[in-house]
Amino acid sequence: MALHDDLVKQKRKKMTLFYVVDTSGSMQIDSRIGKVNSAIENVMNKLEEISDSNEDAEIRVAILEFSTGAHWVTPVPVSPSEYMHVPLQAGGVTDLGAACKALDDKLHRDNGFLDVSSGTYPPIILLMSDGEPNDNWQKPLADLKQNGWFKRAIKIAFAIADEASNDVLAEFVGSREAIIHVNDMTSLEKFIVKASEITSEFQSRSKSSEEVERTSEASSEDLVTRIMTEVSNDTMMMNGFSGDFNMQNGSSAAGGFDPWAQTDPSWDEFN
């Protein structure tokens, strides 16, 4: 039985969760980078549980930081259990264009992070930033948008504090509804953790034919609604309230698309 389980796990596809983190100097304010560090470190056990219980795919994580230039914290994607957290340090400017180029270089099978013999599901990309880009980001982002894996990825942005550029973040993720705005730094960690959990559960399982036909932007919007709803419900429960909280832009519970129905797609057409 153990041998059978090992063989099943070896045949599982991979799904990579990318954290793209702004580590510019302004991320020192109000311990923004500290909250990001705590969230990434603390969510790994939960991601490992999700991965271990998943017969469809194994979850891997990759972390890209950008400030003055961009740097892969993880030279290759690793499982949550293998991830050894080294706190990200804030300093420098906001070179989003460098991050887009670095991401585009790795969202490939050939010499990239998605070269997996067992197959790969489209990734998740969680972008976190608290400011305006300082480099020429438009051309690298335009090139990134032509990447087949980026097109099919679940993309969610965290606009940290009022200084974050909603226009730029919306350009990256494809929709303003796929942006989570966080001004209260005590909530930032909660949103990152919840987003990591919910998107990983969704993207690492096979999909229904209806979901396959939807754009990644529409699925990302639905997931943002679910993330915000669950964080709000958790907060109300902690404060002694009960009952469901539904965002005005609609959730699956309110009759919208249910992103949790599942069957099976093939993603072999991408880069």
pLDDT (tens digit, 0 to 9) for every residue of the chain, 271 residues total?
A: 444 444 445 578 999 999 999 999 999 999 999 999 999 999 999 999 999 999 889 999 999 999 999 999 999 999 999 999 999 999 999 999 999 999 999 998 777 888 766 688 999 999 999 999 999 999 999 999 999 999 999 999 999 999 999 999 999 999 999 999 999 998 999 999 999 999 999 998 877 777 777 889 999 999 999 999 999 998 888 777 555 544 444 333 333 344 444 334 444 444 4
What six digits make up the tokens of 251? Answer: 């959730």
Angle formed at CA 84 by CA 83 and CA 88, multiple of 5 degrees: 110
What six digits make up the tokens of 229? Answer: 């709803």
- CA–CA distances in Å: residue 4 to residues 9, 106, 122: 9, 33, 27
**What was the pLDDT predicted at 262?**
39
**What was the pLDDT predicted at 236?**
85
Name the pTM for this structure.
0.85
> What whole-number distance in Å separates Cα of residue 81 and Cα of residue 73?
16
**Dihedral (CA of 146, 265, 107, 270) sign:** negative
